[in-house]
Chains A and B, each alone.
Chain A
Amino acid sequence: MAANAGNKIRNAKLVLLGDVGAGKSSLVLRFVKGQFVEFQESTIGAAFFSQTLAVNDETVKFEIWDTAGQERYHSLAPMYYRGAAAAIVVYDITNPASFTRAKKWVQELQAQGNPSTVVALAGNKADLLETRKVQIEEAKTYAQENRLFFMETSAKTAINVNDIFYEIAKRLLQGQPAQNPQAGMVLTQRPNERLVSASSCCS
């Protein structure tokens, strides 16, 4: 996603990774719509969400990709990672297995993605303190070792949700604009489409 130098809007593809039930979609819905649904369906039926965030006098326009359930049987396509400027790896603080899996997702991302991708680790469901199984120190240490930035979040109470996106935006703006000189064209339906074009071979 190329940067738009003119009015300081930075487009950034952000992908969510993490186990089923860690709360990926809930985080997005909280951030984009300010909503929380206790029993969120696995599939939310959107290819991606767009949300803009202002940082000082600059703007980051996130295009947020959810996994669409393809992570459930470890079947994410390479396409999912392509061109991702940022990623949030989500685990559930009440579920140690989801933390183990989060580490695998980080490895996966490092193998697939590009090294300049900003990676955040989110320990979600931070409102469920009494059933916590993953200690905050353990996650912090892991994040430091792997140069991720880390926050515990709660999509339910909205704790740290905007903050984690804001921090990502800040880091994206600090870094070099994602340069993708190779960007191709995205096909779009054009209103001016005509069956026969003026420059066609038969004119």
Chain B
Amino acid sequence: MADEPGGGGCSLQDYPTIDPTSFDVVLCGTGLPESVLAAACAAAGKTVLHVDPNPFYGSLFSSLPLPSLPSFLSSSSGSVPSPSSSATTLSTTSYAVVDLHRRSLYSEVETSGTVPELSRRITVDLVGPRVLYCADEGVDLLLRSGGSHHVEFKSVEGGTLLYWEGGLYPVPDSRQAIFKDTTLQLKEKNLLFRFFKLVQTHIAASSAGAEVGEGEASGKLPEEDLDLPFIEFLKKQHLSPKMRAVVLYAIAMADYGQDGAHSCEKLLTTREGIKTIALYSSSIGRFANAEGAFIYPMYGHGELPQAFCRCAAVKGALYVLRMPATALLVDEGKKRYVGTRLASGQDILCQQLILDPSYEIPSLDMPCNAPVSNSPRKVARGICIISSSVKQDSLNVLVVFPPKSLEEEQVAAVRVLQLSSNLAVCPPGMFMVYLSTPCADAFTGKKYINKAIEILFTTKASDDPEGHLEITSENNKEVKPTLIWSCVYVQEITEGTTTLSCPMPDENLDYRSILESTKKLFAEICPNDEFLPRNSAPKYADDDSDSAE
């Protein structure tokens, strides 16, 4: 949230002086990776200073009130005002000062429609569409750190819909769902059952441990099958093209077309596909109140960094918002960073420095001039406000447009997440919708986001016969939701090139890859410490752990 927390009365030029001036770890930016690192470092007993240039938590992972979105997307670039930077080749200091610059990750921002009333009650995610699997690393970290106590979740209870041949079909992701499905033929159902059973047996055998043996009798799939492209494996199981799309894009969440026609991108192996299916299946039913595999944090994804920051603070980390870092302090002898200069002009020394990815990291050899060598990945994102649900009687729903479903040239899936007011992200009577697709160029990415928006919503609230979208399972025509407001933009994703920089919000539906990188960063910062060990949750005095709903 961009509300000024913490008392106000503090103008931007009125920077406080921080005491002490030396820490084990200094982190700049309060995005999810930095916040998790802060919690992990504090739990490992490090002294931690955590600063953020913004007056709110979350950086590139925050949730903003709608009115603050345009300025956030257009700002956060340029050099940080550095009050006294160049004037400090003081003879007393044993380090050099290298100015820091910040860059904007966002481009091609286009908004349309009318901002609804009560827009301050609308909270928008910068990382959408995104969810957590009930059994993923993000949930485990929340539980291990104690952060789970600070965030409430709700299910994406409407499940997943697949856009296929002009209609939206519910994704049969469980035995009951396959039974209940009215759109599948009996033969399709049987093949799908058999496929799931095969995979399930493999997962059970693999998790039972190696001692069972490797043979066919163990129920494990043979190695050559696991190394096969997943699509080939699905073909071997005689799944129809639609069922293959269900498994590949709506359950295994593949980004790119797997048909091989595009020679390209990433062909999922059976091993990788099954890994995600295993996560998906262990997510279903993990929490008694969660329907389906996915959950979403109430008040938006920006709550997650706040929760980890609070865990860090409880363990002694020091927090300063509204405090940009303006320069790196470099020990010229050792060629390493020894600290950072803050906007207040104060120099803070540290063993480890971590910056959020909006800071450009100058390389040690050629300061201030480190062009990104390869062209960065991009993700096109859309944020919409709509009048009614895309799926009758459902509040929170995921929709997947598989590759080629929008047009033949479409190489990447478009994922869509609809959220309702029950998540406290918007007032009743409207829904928030997030869309994303990875793209090579901005034009293509935005084209597919806009196409998906056109298919799902109508811009006019009328009885226009075109305003209908067939929900085949319901056997009746439903009126398309009306689009009230939308914003489409492109975000670039560059991999951190140094150990200094945390990962950016990526094109994925979940945080797995981001948290994997974060874990690696932690291993470099604290090689001898466990990453948020299970007992690192703060002790709750007199807590009789009755927090279960």
Per the 8 Å Cβ criterion, residues 9-37 of B in contact with A are: 9-10, 16, 18
Residue of B151, B196, B310 most packed against chain A (CB within 10 A): B310
**A46 vs B423: C-alpha distance when bound (angstroms):** 28
Q: Are A195 and B7 in contact (CB under 8 A)?
A: no
Q: Are A75 and B288 in contact (CB under 8 A)?
A: no
Stretch touching chain B among A132-140, A163-171, A184-192: A184-192
**A73 vs B142: C-alpha distance when bound (angstroms):** 25
**A101 vs B7: C-alpha distance when bound (angstroms):** 8
Q: Are B320 and A185 in contact (CB under 8 A)?
A: no
Q: Are B153 and A187 in contact (CB under 8 A)?
A: yes
> Which chain A residues lie closer than 8 Å to B251 at the CB level?
201
Any A CB within 8 A of the CB of B520: no
Of the candidates A72, A108, A186, which one forms a contact with B319 in the assembled complex, judged by CB atoms under 8 Å apart?
Answer: A72
Q: Are A49 and B542 in contact (CB under 8 A)?
A: yes
Of the candidates B148, B299, B320, B542, which one forms a contact with A186 in the assembled complex, judged by CB atoms under 8 Å apart?
Answer: B148
Stretch touching chain A among B279-287, B371-379, B461-469: B279-287
User: Chain B 437-467 against A: per-residue CB contact (8 Å), 1 yes, 0 no?
Assistant: 0000000000000000000000000000000
Q: Are B282 and A74 in contact (CB under 8 A)?
A: no
Per the 8 Å Cβ criterion, residues 165-203 of A in contact with B are: 182-190, 193-203
**A201 vs B294: C-alpha distance when bound (angstroms):** 13
Stretch touching chain B among A76-84, A120-128, A153-161: A76-84
Q: Are B290 and A201 in contact (CB under 8 A)?
A: no
Any A CB within 8 A of the CB of B99: no
> Which chain B residues lie closer than 8 Å to A46 at the CB level?
314, 538-541
User: Chain A 69-97 against B: per-residue CB contact (8 Å), 1 yes, 0 no?
Assistant: 11111111111101000000000000000
> Which chain A residues lie closer than 8 Å to B1 at the CB level?
78
Of the candidates A47, A79, A80, which one forms a contact with B146 in the assembled complex, judged by CB atoms under 8 Å apart?
Answer: A47
Residue of A49, A183, A186 most packed against chain B (CB within 10 A): A186
A178 to chain B, nearest CB (A): 14
- State whether A79 and B150 are in contact (beta carbons under 8 Å apart), knowing that A68-B314, A193-B286, A196-B204 are contacts in the complex: yes
Any B CB within 8 A of the CB of A105: yes
Q: Are B153 and A184 in contact (CB under 8 A)?
A: yes
Any B CB within 8 A of the CB of A55: no
> Which chain B residues lie closer than 8 Å to A107 at the CB level?
8
CB closest residue in chain B, given A104:
B7
- State whether A77 and B277 are in contact (beta carbons under 8 Å apart), knowing that A50-B543, A51-B542 are contacts in the complex: no
Interface residues on chain A, number (Cβ under 8 Å):
51
> Which chain B residues lie closer than 8 Å to A101 at the CB level?
7
- State whether A184 and B298 are in contact (beta carbons under 8 Å apart), knowing that A69-B319, A78-B3, A79-B150 are contacts in the complex: yes
Any A CB within 8 A of the CB of B174: yes
B204 to chain A, nearest CB (A): 6
Q: Are B8 and A108 in contact (CB under 8 A)?
A: yes
Per the 8 Å Cβ criterion, residues 142-188 of B in contact with A are: 142-143, 146, 148-154, 173-177
Of the candidates B6, B149, B199, which one forms a contact with A75 in the assembled complex, judged by CB atoms under 8 Å apart?
Answer: B6
Q: Are A45 and B315 in contact (CB under 8 A)?
A: yes
> Which chain A residues lie closer than 8 Å to B290 at the CB level?
185
**A79 vs B151: C-alpha distance when bound (angstroms):** 8
Using C-beta atoms within 8 Å of the partner chain, give the interface range for chain B: 35 or more
**A168 vs B180: C-alpha distance when bound (angstroms):** 52
Q: Are A75 and B286 in contact (CB under 8 A)?
A: no
Q: Are B6 and A76 in contact (CB under 8 A)?
A: yes
User: Chain B 270-312 against A: per-residue CB contact (8 Å), 1 yes, 0 no?
Assistant: 0000000110111011111110000100110001001101110
**A32 vs B543: C-alpha distance when bound (angstroms):** 12
Any A CB within 8 A of the CB of B313: yes
**A201 vs B309: C-alpha distance when bound (angstroms):** 35
- State whether A200 and B57 are in contact (beta carbons under 8 Å apart), knowing that A48-B540, A49-B541, A184-B154 are contacts in the complex: no
CB closest residue in chain B, given A77:
B306
Q: Are B284 and A108 in contact (CB under 8 A)?
A: no
B41 to chain A, nearest CB (A): 15
CB closest residue in chain B, given A68:
B313
Any B CB within 8 A of the CB of A111: yes
> Which chain A residues lie closer than 8 Å to B528 at the CB level?
none
Of the candidates A32, A69, A186, A197, which one forms a contact with B318 in the assembled complex, judged by CB atoms under 8 Å apart?
Answer: A69
CB closest residue in chain A, given B298:
A184
> Which chain A residues lie closer than 8 Å to B318 at the CB level?
69, 72-73
- State whether A202 and B3 are in contact (beta carbons under 8 Å apart), knowing that A77-B310, A188-B547 are contacts in the complex: no
A49 to chain B, nearest CB (A): 5
A15 to chain B, nearest CB (A): 12
B137 to chain A, nearest CB (A): 13
**A195 vs B315: C-alpha distance when bound (angstroms):** 31
> Which chain A residues lie closer than 8 Å to B544 at the CB level?
50
- State whether A200 and B282 are in contact (beta carbons under 8 Å apart), knowing that A46-B539, A108-B6 are contacts in the complex: yes
Q: Are B540 and A47 in contact (CB under 8 A)?
A: yes
Residue of B149, B251, B277, B319 most packed against chain A (CB within 10 A): B319
> Which chain B residues lie closer than 8 Å to A50 at the CB level?
540-544
B277 to chain A, nearest CB (A): 7
**A177 vs B101: C-alpha distance when bound (angstroms):** 51
**A68 vs B319: C-alpha distance when bound (angstroms):** 10
> Which chain B residues lie closer than 8 Å to A32 at the CB level?
541-542
**A182 vs B428: C-alpha distance when bound (angstroms):** 11
CB closest residue in chain A, given B282:
A195
**A78 vs B548: C-alpha distance when bound (angstroms):** 23
> Which chain B residues lie closer than 8 Å to A111 at the CB level?
3
Q: Are A73 and B310 in contact (CB under 8 A)?
A: no
Any B CB within 8 A of the CB of A141: no
Q: Are B196 and A78 in contact (CB under 8 A)?
A: no
- State whether A45 and B542 are in contact (beta carbons under 8 Å apart), knowing that A79-B306, A199-B176 are contacts in the complex: no
CB closest residue in chain B, given A43:
B316
- State whether A185 and B542 are in contact (beta carbons under 8 Å apart), knowing that A70-B6, A197-B285, A198-B285 are contacts in the complex: no
Q: Are A185 and B153 in contact (CB under 8 A)?
A: yes
Any B CB within 8 A of the CB of A112: yes
Per the 8 Å Cβ criterion, residues 206-227 of B in contact with A are: 207
**A185 vs B154: C-alpha distance when bound (angstroms):** 6
Q: Are A70 and B281 in contact (CB under 8 A)?
A: no
CB closest residue in chain B, given A200:
B281
Q: Are A188 and B548 in contact (CB under 8 A)?
A: yes
Of the candidates B16, B139, B278, B541, which one forms a contact with A187 in the assembled complex, judged by CB atoms under 8 Å apart?
Answer: B139
Contact surface of A with B, Cβ cutoff 8 Å: 32-33, 43, 45-51, 68-80, 82, 101, 104-105, 107-108, 111-112, 182-190, 193-203
The 5 closest A-B pairs by CB, nearest first: A202-B200, A184-B152, A200-B281, A74-B6, A197-B285
* 12 A/B residue pairs, CB under 8 Å, sorted by A: A43-B316, A78-B3, A78-B57, A79-B306, A101-B7, A104-B7, A108-B7, A186-B152, A186-B153, A195-B207, A197-B285, A201-B175
Other A-B pairs beyond A190-B286, A201-B173, 12, CB < 8 Å = A47-B150, A50-B540, A50-B542, A73-B16, A184-B153, A186-B549, A187-B142, A187-B151, A193-B286, A197-B285, A200-B281, A202-B277
